[in-house]
Chain A
Amino acid sequence: AQSVAQPEDQVNVAEGNPLTVKCTYSVSGNPYLFWYVQYPNRGLQFLLKYITGDNLVKGSYGFEAEFNKSQTSFHLKKPSALVSDSALYFCAVRDKDNAGNMLTFGGGTRLMVKP
């Protein structure tokens, strides 16, 4: 079984400050990890993924995430937050050997960036 935890329902940060949205996961094998963002009344937009290789992954809109195998974490980061980053962020995982490739999502974290 695979699972994802996003321990914070909401993260508040001031514009220009760095942001971190936390994610921990559990899979039986090697993980494939993803971050998606959902703006109001919109679908999920793919931000970035970790499949293999470098533990620091860079994605869209200046976001990056760090894979930490020992802590089973995949935290999303951005050096300088923008008000337009305010949205709902989802971390997702699938087991590399999961034939169906279906994703298991965390509960989501609402990011609020204040001017």
Chain B
Amino acid sequence: DSGVTQTPKHLITATGQRVTLRCSPRSGDLSVYWYQQSLDQGLQFLIQYYNGEERAKGNILERFSAQQFPDLHSELNLSSLELGDSALYFCASRDRDTQYFGPGTRLTVL
């Protein structure tokens, strides 16, 4: 158990809908990273927050957004969902040089 929690574990929704994925970092970690794992794109970095501020952006679509709250949990919002958004979404928190990953949220868009 990495200490990073993610909810929900599974999410099934329809095209055009909006969902919110939640992540709680390990106790004491200020950074949260979001990654997407899909069969065709592999593991890709989406976005990073540090202590409530956006720090870096990767291959994140404009339909996706994230935020980090004062208690350091983070939410990833995915809107206008398409079939191709079906993937496993991971968050990670960082302790010094090492990122520790949560169990992921599997999103299925039908």
User: Complex: how many Å from CA A43 to CA B102?
Assistant: 6
Establish whether residues B97 and A102, one from each chain, have CB atoms under 8 Å apart when the complex forms: no
Q: Does A103 contact B (CB under 8 A)?
A: yes
User: Complex: how many Å from CA A100 to CA B86?
Assistant: 26
A 79-115 to B, binary, CB cutoff 8 A, 1 in contact else 0: 0000000000010000000011111111110000000
Establish whether residues B48 and A100, one from each chain, have CB atoms under 8 Å apart when the complex forms: yes
Q: Which of A34, A99, A104 contacts B98 (CB 8 A)?
A: A34
Main SS class of interface, B: strand
Residue from A43, A90, A104, A106 with most neighbouring chain B CB atoms (10 Å) = A43
Establish whether residues A102 and B103, one from each chain, have CB atoms under 8 Å apart when the complex forms: no
Q: Which residue of B lies closest to A36 (CB)?
A: B101
Q: Which residues of A contact B (CB under 8 A)?
A: 32, 34, 36, 42-46, 49, 51, 90, 99-108
A–B pairs, 14, beta carbons within 8 Å: A34-B99, A43-B4, A43-B90, A43-B101, A43-B102, A44-B101, A46-B99, A46-B100, A99-B55, A102-B58, A103-B33, A104-B45, A106-B42, A107-B42
